[in-house]
Every structure is written in structure tokens, then in C-alpha cells.
Structure 1
Amino acid sequence: MPPMANGGMQRGLYGRAESPYNSSYLAAAMGSGSSNGCGVSTASSMAVFGLAEETVSSGRSPASNNGLVAYTPSRGMVSIRGNWPLTCSADVVVPHARSVKDLMAILDVIAVTDEHTEGDFWRGQPFVDLPKVENIRPTSFTTLANASALRGKRIGVPRMFIGGNDPAAQPVFLRDSIRTLWEDARITLESLGAQVEEVGFPLVTNHEVLPAVNEVNSEYPLPSYFNGSASPGDMDAYAWDDFLHMVNDTSSVTTLSDVDPGLIFPQLPGTIPDRYGNRFGNRTQSNARYVEAIRNRTGKIIDIPGLAAWLQRLEDRRKRDLEDWMDKKGLDAVVWPANGDVGRERAEVDNEAAVSTWRNGVARSFGNFAIRQLGVPTVTVTMGAMNDTGMPVGLTFATKSYDDTSIISYAYAFEQAHDKVRFVPPRTPEFETDLISLRRGRKTHGSHGAPVLNASALRMDERKILVKGTVKVENCWDSDAKVEVHVDGVPVLPVSFEGSEWGVTANITLPFQGTSPFGEVNVPDASLAMVVVVATAPNGRSAGKMLFV
């Protein structure tokens, strides 16, 4: 994503992340999946965990599409200071993990009090009191790993999200293979002792109204939201401006008034118009309004007229439409499939693909803006993969504000019992180098350094590369070192030695696929081969080089 991320599968300067499960489908929802890179890097084990950000469904969606666990916290449970505030009243940090146990370990570290509140709207505003994190979290989140947590619990599943009839709901698309995943998930929930009841969902149905516009003529148009849902004044523009002031990057911009609005979410060459708000176009016009608002800014964000009353109305709406409703129904949690389908990879260039990708239930995760705007905590854990596309889909657990620990336990219990567990993405096959072999030998002491490695690469012809260099091990216990060479991820053998000099000739096995048609920065040049050299001494210390040739 670009630095001033503006939502959805917006391409950054270097492109976007693509699905490690199926190249024909998106790594996140087209209209609200901006943390797609976080999801892909975590799913493909480029990272141990990720920290996404969500305004509508940008954390839940990439987790669902990548077979991950995601946690969207109650207001103030995880500091968001330092994150770009797309819509500051809704934004949260969303940890991505490959298991609920991993999520628990992450939360032990990040779910703590941050004494600094600048740049964190909810923790900094004076109008709504938030509980202290320490009063909500356990001593360690790992104590929530209870495989029996769902026994005796009453769980509601909104009919609108499983293909049932809810006259109060806006039309939502649901793919048959996702309905099948839900039916299997329900069996697991009930096998764990939970009672599952199909219900309405006033939190969403009272939040959403008939679309004001359907210029795109969709059978499943994105809904509009209740009168009064929009933030007062120029609140979001003020938050953008405050962030740029706080970062104070004098090499770039320090105020929104100096930003060219046409560069925030430009229409890339070769792409078709987006369909936000069921209209053809992109966000340049609204961004221009934000910039103009800052040029006429007169005060602080907390001084915006009507802000205090608006925030309290959001809190009251959640209490009425979720918490009081759950009490009335006797529910411990609400669950639903995370989305109704997965968008097509070609949606930004192909109209037919765009039609299905921008449907309600596909363009964003189920629940749309209501979940985040009203501060509802959720945990999403995978239900498995669709039998027709091979794409994962998550199951979302939601509950009352600040009952976050309960749904973490429920998600853990479900994950432990469900037979369709997360699986390694087929587009990221396991390499031999993924495993670090145990080296038995002398202990390493601080006074004994790593080998000194020099490496160079020369393209001898279109398909052949000569890689050579030297390795010195005077600072190590022993007098030799192992040198490994990979070209485009493929190991090259054998590496020959003559004294301290080494060398190997490699054949390029991955043909160049061509540069992106969208004009992203091509650094390093995608036409070059990537050469990785690692030298490891017997004491376990190593040195490495990465070359492009």
C-alpha cells in the first residue's frame, strides 16, 4: 500500500500482494482489504505474524482469504498510535497469526497500556471513558487456551450471512461452497457443546439502508448507512493532517494542505473505474475535499461541533443493537462466515470480474462498516478452503464490547476441534532451506566472529550465471566454511573451492514473466535473477549476500 493508504486493494508504488492460494483470486476484498500484504506475508511465512489495520474489513478480509487468525479489538485495547488514520473513529490494529495460540502470544506483548495518546483518536478523546487494558486482559492471554470454552454457550448466526431470509437485511451474496463450509463449522460448534441459533442481526440491519445510488446496476449493491452515520465536520481530514504533523517528515509533507489529492488514489493506466458507493469512478474527488478542508482548518479535532454527541450515539447504538439484543436473546456470541465470496484477481481490468467482485458480501467482509464504526470486537479463524476455488474462508466470532477474551477462547476451541485446519499455501511450497539443521560442534563465543564473505555474479548468457567469490574464516574456530548458493530460490550445486575462493555456474530456471502493466516502481528490476549466497562457519555463525544480475 502507499503511505497514505486509501483503502481496498489499492496498489502501492511496488504493486500489491497476490494470493498464495490461487492466483485467479484476490488476497483480500477489493473494496476493503488494504492489509493484503500483511495477510500474504504472514500466510506465506515471510513473517511470523503481522499487524494489519482495519477501518471496515481490511484486517478481517485478508485473514479470511489467507487462512489466518485475526483479532479486531474493542476500542483502546491495542494502541494504534503511529498508524495512518483512514477513518480515525473506526480504525484498529489487527494482529494476523497462523494460529490462535500465536495470537495469544502476540497479545501478551501488544495489549498493554500506552501512556502516549497522540495519534490514537479513541484513547485521546475526552468524551467517552474507556476501561483500562489491564482491567480487561488476563495476566497472560495463553490462559484463554481452553478447548472446552464453547460448552454450554448459546451462539447466534445471522440468517442474512448464511443464505437465510431476513426481511430487514440488504441483499447479500453467498457462494454455495462457503455455505458448505459454514454447515461443517456449525457441526463443529455443536460438537463442542454450543447451541447454535439462527437469528436476525440488528447491529447490521439497523445500520444499513437501501443504497442511495446503484449506477453500476448491481444485483447485490453495497448498502448505504443510517442518517447520521457520517462523522461530523471534517473530522477525518483533521486526523490525516494531525498524523502528518505528528510524523513531521520534512523530506516529504507535514500537512495535508500540501498534498496533491490526485496522487492519493490515482486511476492507474489500464484499469477500469472502481465501484465504491455503487458508482463508477475513484476517490480523487473526495480526497480533494479533504485537502481543501485543511486549507481552511480553524481548530483541533476534539473541538469539532457535535463530536461528543456523535461519539456517544455510536456507543448507544452498539449497546442497543448488540449488547442489549444479545442479553435479550441469551447469546454468548455471534458467529458468521467472514465473507460471501472471494473477488477475482482481474477485477481492476475486467468488467465481468468486477461485477462479482463488487457485490455486497464480497467487496467487503460481512457486516460492512457497522462492525468497526460501532467498536465490536471480533476474532476470525479459518473454516477451511472452498471445494471449488481452493481459497480459504474464515469464521468470525463477535461479542459485546470488552468481552474480547471470551471470543479468543471460543476461537481457540473451534480451531482445536475443526477438521478443516489451516494448510500451507500451495503457491509457497516448502524449500529445503526452510528448515535449519542442527549443527553439533563447539560452542560459539562472542569473541569469535562470522565468516567474511565476498560474492559477485556475472550473466554469461541469457540462461547462465557465474557466481563466485571468497570466504575467510580467520575469526572462527575452524578453517573452513560451507557456502550455499540459490538462484531465484533454486539451490545451485556443486560449489567448488580452491583455497578461500569459491565458484559455481547456475542455469536460470524461472523465465522472466514481464513487468507489471500498471506502472509500479520496478526496483529491483524484475527481469534480473536473484542470487542469494550464504556462508556458514562450523561455529554456527554465518554471512550472506543478495545480488541481482
Structure 2
Amino acid sequence: MSTSKQDALAALSIAEAAAKLRSGEVTSRQLTEACLARIAVYDPMLDAFITVMKDKALAQADQLDAEQKAGKLRGPLHGVPIALKDNIDTASTRTTAASALWEDRVPPADAPVATRLKQAGAVIIGKTNLHEFAMGAGEASFWGAARNPWALNLNTGGSSSGSGAAVAADLCYGALGTDTAGSIRHPAAYCSLVGLKPTFGLVPIRGIAPLTLCLDHCGPMTRTVEDNAIMLNALVGYDRGDITSVEHKREDYVAALKQPVSGFRLGAPLGFKEGTHPEILRVCEIAIAVLARITAGIKDVSLPSTGDLSIGALGYSGETWAWHEETFRDSPGKYQLASRRRLEGAAKDEPKAPDYIRTKWKLDLLRRTIDDSFTDFDLVVMPTMRKMQPVLNDMFKRIREPKPGDPSALSNCSVFNATGLPAISIPCGFSSDGLPIGLMIAGPRFSEGKILALAQAYERETRWYRQKPKLTPDTLVPALTV
């Protein structure tokens, strides 16, 4: 198959690839080979993958092609190559969390989300890069920082940096990310993707290296909203072995896309404009005007303040320290400098049990009552990020020469990790320099169906997802001062 035909195959959406597979126009092996061909050319530029599972992916694809010939189709993910963030366990394939500490670690079993994707027929094509142990914005990885396909000197957003780069550059059809303070939605906004953080506990996180367990989520990153719904259908479900998992009646999120949005009442939370880059405000205000036109309208609203309950809260560092204490005391030098500083701080200021317990009590009460805020509006909309994509070399300099700052000031995301509410970032346009900008839609617990329906309605009005990064085999790769 010619390179141009392979590139065209790799650029399909999950839904389009599934349709071609069902009709017999293409095979899973052809889809997998198309992605592998692009990985061979572009991953050396992007550092999107830590491990490419070429042989296993092709064997999976052949098995799924044989099943199709025998009349068995598992669903819309059957035979479609998907990538997993490399903090998600995969049996017999190393899972490193982008750390030298786990350079050769091979888990004995798949994480439930990996199992569910395989059962749905997805071909697992590889493990994507990330900020070490998901502790930041993507700049600190033992394997080198992932680069943004829209501009190779820029950050992809993190910590699911490799997943964002891989999907945006057509190296796979979708990927899993994890999100503790925005780590799915950051790269989605910075790479012009759809990234969903589901309701806390809806998608199991067992078998995923935790950052802050009570804030951690796992969710899909895709090029279209329909693709996101397809992946979400495969991921949800109660996991008795996961202490964060919640029971919820199964929904069909693809079917939910068909609901009309004209009656949806939208809210714009007060304060989201503060500290937001003018380009982001300009683009998002245009997007919000489109949403106001296709719904019942939008008004200013207030959501309860999460105050001291977001990622930097007193007590949460204890969850991170509890996971890393033993290995950090034994092998501090195997951590990246940024992670080492964070863990040294956690060790020095290790919170007392009463502090952590009081924080958790507040968090539990907030999550129990947050839906009461959605009285005369159904969903809220706002910019995903407050700042444009930073230059990677500037981020490296900040690691070497740290200055005080609040990472949460970069985005509007962490509030929805504290509340546990579902939130999605969707492409809503570009800056004057051609850089992607994302819009976030959020709603009450388990309102994923409504969120996805509104996101797709906006997507159909604007079709930003059709724009691709201008990446070629001859693209100049700027040097990084790691």
C-alpha cells in the first residue's frame, strides 16, 4: 500500500475505520500497518510512544480479522488500533510510568481498562509517553518530553502528553489518558482533540499508577466526539476490586448523541475569564456564542468554590507520598528532578492524619452536594486552558531554576477533579499563530450523555476536528535543552 493511502487510512476516525472494516473494504492488519508506518516516520520527531507493540499489535489484528471472516464482530472498536498511557498496566508488556525506576517493569496482569478495550476488539498498538508518574505537564520524562505535532518546540499538555501527540499526529485512532488535575483535557486542548474526564469512579482506575487516588480519573482521547462515546462505552462499569469505583446503570453514550440540545440551558461560571490569555478568550467567546445559538441560551452562574480541595490541598500530598515513600527512600536518584523535588516536599511536609481526614470529609461532602448547584442550568461551558502552549525549553529552564507558581492557574480543569464531575475538552478554534484552543463542557455527576451530545452538536456546527497539524517527514525538529 502506498504511503499516501496509509496516511489516509490512519487519518480516519474510529467510526469511519469501523465502517470500512464492517464492509470489508479494509482489514485490521491494514489499519494497524498504516499506524505503524506513521509511527516509524513521526514518532522519532514526537516522542509520543515509550513502547510500540508492533508484533503483538499485528498478531491481535490478524486474530480479529480471522474472527470477522468467521462472522464475529465485537463492536465498533473491532480491529481498531488504540494506544494506552504508559502508567496503565499491560500484562507481558512493560509499563514504565515514564520513570527510570520502572524502566524494565512488566506487570503480571492488564488493568481493567486495558482488558475492556481488548474485549471490545481494540488493537493495543503501544504505550504512550507521559510526565513521570503523571506528576506534571509533560515536560519531565525519562524517555524525553513528548512534542506537540502543531509546533515541535511546544508542550503537548500533560500529563497525558504522548497520548495527545499520538492521536493528533494520526499514529493511532484513539488513546487512554489519566486526569488528576486536567491531564486528559490539557493535551486535548493543546493538540486539538476531544478529551473526556468521566464522573469520578465511572471508569475503573485499578492497575493504573496513582498520583492522588481521590482525584484520579481515566478516560478517552480521540479526534471526534462520536469516537469518544464509542470508547467510553467500552470503558465504563463497576469494578469490585477498585476502591474508587461506583455502581451506575449502564448507558449507551453513542445513542445519547442523538438527543436534541435545543432545550439545554447553559451556564458560564463567574471568574473563568480571570488570568486567561486574550487569544483564548477571543476564540472561546465565539464558540460560546455558537452554543448559545443552538441551545436554550447561556447565562452567568456560580459553582461552589473548591477552595482548598483541589490538587494542592493540604493532605493530598499524603496520598502521593504513601505510594512513593518506600521506592523514593530507596532510589531517589531514579526520579526526574521535577518529581524528586515534589516528593522531597511531600516527605518534608508530610501531612498529619487529622489534616488528611478533614480534607477528605470536605471533599466527600462537596461531591455529595455538588449536583444541587445545577438548578436552573444543565451544563457549564468555559475555556479549558487559561494559558497558551508553553515552549518546552522554557519549561526545562523552570525545572532547573524553579520559581514559585500555581500550576492550577494554567487551566480551569482541577475544579472538576475535586467535584468529581464529568468534563470534556473539545477543539474550538485556533490562535492567530495557528495553535489549537479548547473549550470545556461540564455537568452534574453522570451527565456524560448530555455533555457528549452538546459537544457533538458544536462539532457539527464548526468542524474544527478536520484541521490537521502540518507535519511532514521533512519537518525541522528543533533542539531541546533538556
**TM-score calculated relative to the size of structure 1:** 0.57
Q: Quick one: which of 320, 329, 332 aligns to 1:236?
A: 320
**Which of 306, 313, 317 in structure 1 is aligned with 2:362?**
313
Amino acid corresponding to residue 107 of structure 1 in structure 2:
L
Measure how far apart 1:309 and its partner are.
5.9
Superposed CA RMSD in Å reads: 3.5
Please state whether the residue corresponding to 1:71 is helix, strand or coil. Answer: strand
Equivalent in the alignment of 1:526: none
Structure 1 counterpart of 2:161, from 32, 36, 45:
36
Counterpart of 2:271 in 1: which secondary structure? helix
- Equivalent residue number for residue 334 of structure 2: 263
In structure 1, the partner of 2:178 is: 53
**Alignment partner, residue 301 of structure 2:** 199
- 1:2 counterpart residue number: 98
Provide the C-alpha distance between the structure 2 equivalents of 1:25 and 1:289, rounded to a whole number of angstroms.
28
Deviation, 1:514, is: 8.8
Preserved CA contact (<8 Å) 1:53 1:59: yes
Please give the residue correspondences for 1:388-407 in structure 2 after superposition, counting only pairs within 5 Å.
Answer: 388-407=432-451
Contact 2:385–2:410 (Cα < 8 Å) also in 1: yes
2: CA distance, partners of 1:331 / 1:288:
44
Residue number in structure 2 paired with 1:437: none
Describe the SS at the equivalent of 1:108.
helix
Cα deviation code 1:369-423 (max 9, x no counterpart)? 322122121111110212x121111111111122222212221222122254441
1-structure distance, mates of 2:475, 2:282: 38
Long gaps (5+) in structure 2: 1-96, 100-131
Contact 1:157 1:198 in 2 (8 A): yes
The AA in structure 2 aligned to 1:159 is L
The residue type equivalent to 1:234 in the other structure is G
Tell me which amino acid in the other structure corresponds to 2:314: A
What corresponds to 2:271 in structure 1?
Answer: 160
Report which of the two has the higher share of strand.
Answer: 1
Distance of aligned partners of 1:358 and 1:323 in 2 relative to their CA distance in 1, 3 Å threshold: farther
**Cα deviation digits, residues 412-441 of structure 1 (max 9, x gap):** 2221222544411112x4xxxxxxxxxxxx
Which residue does 1:370 correspond to in 2? 415
User: Could you tell me which residue of structure 2 aligns to residue 341 of structure 1?
Assistant: 387
2:378 is equivalent to residue 332 of structure 1: yes
What is the aligned partner in structure 1 of residue 453 from structure 2?
A: 409
Work out whether residues 203 and 235 of structure 2, in 8 Å CA contact, stay in contact via their aligned partners in 1. Answer: yes
- The yes-or-no answer on 1:423 pairing with 2:480 is no
Q: Is 1:17 matched with 2:146?
A: yes
Q: Distance in 2 between matches of 1:91 and 1:338?
A: 18
1:284 maps to: 340
Match in the other structure for 1:72: 197
Match of 2:51 in 1: none
Instruction: Report if the CA contact (8 A) 2:193-2:465 is conserved.
Output: no
Deviations 1:85-120 (A, max 9, x none): 111111111210100111111112111233432xxx
Amino acid at match of 2:395: E
Equivalent-residue separation in structure 2 for 1:326 and 1:84 (angstroms): 33
Q: Is the 8 A contact 1:173 1:360 kept in 2?
A: no
Q: Deviations over 1:27-79 (max 9, x none)?
A: 11xxxx11111101011111111111111111110000111111111121111
Q: Which has the higher helix share?
A: 2
Once residues 478 and 368 of structure 2 are traced to their aligned partners in structure 1, the CA distance between those partners, rounded to angstroms, is 53
1:291 Cα deviation from its structure 2 partner: 6.5
Determine the structure 2 residue equivalent to 1:382: 427
Q: Report the secondary structure of 2:154's partner residue.
A: coil
Counterpart amino acid of residue 34 in structure 1: S
**2: CA distance, partners of 1:57 / 1:286:** 18
Aligned equivalents of 2:231, 2:445: Cα separation in 1: 20
Give the secondary-structure state (helix, strand or coil) at the position aligned to 2:218.
strand
User: Do the aligned partners of 1:50 and 1:95 also contact (CA within 8 Å) in 2?
Assistant: yes
SS in 1 for 2:142: coil
Equivalent pairs, count: 350
The residue type paired with residue 151 of structure 2 is N
Letter of the 1:407 counterpart: I
The aligned amino acid for 2:386 is G
Q: Is 1:151 the counterpart of 2:151 in the alignment?
A: no
C-alpha spacing 1:283/1:12, structure 2 compared with 1 (3 Å): closer
Contact 1:84 1:240 in 2 (8 A): no
Return the alpha-carbon distance in structure 2 between the equivalents of residues 152 and 207 of structure 1. Answer: 35
State how far apart, in whole Å, the 2-side matches of 1:348 and 1:154 are.
Answer: 39
Q: Does the C-alpha gap of structure 1 residues 14 and 192 become closer, same or farther in structure 2, counting only changes over 3 Å?
A: same
- Whichever residue aligns with residue 462 of structure 2, its letter is H
Q: Could you tell me how far 1:22 is from its partner in structure 2?
A: 2.3
- Shift in Å at residue 515 of structure 1? 7.1
Does the 8 A contact of 1:61 with 1:364 survive in 2? no
Q: Deviations over 1:300-337 (max 9, x none)?
A: xxx966766643421322454x422222xx01011101
**Taking structure 2 as the reference length, what is the TM-score of the superposition?**
0.64
Q: 1:344 to 1:306 in 2, by over 3 A?
A: closer
SS in 1 for 2:152: coil
Q: CA deviation at 1:81?
A: 1.3
C-alpha distance in structure 1 between counterparts of 2:196 and 2:336, whole Å: 27
Counterpart-to-counterpart distance in 2, 1:358 and 1:420: 36
Counterpart AA for 1:157: A
- Distance in 2 between residues matched to 1:203 and 1:292, nearest whole Å: 28
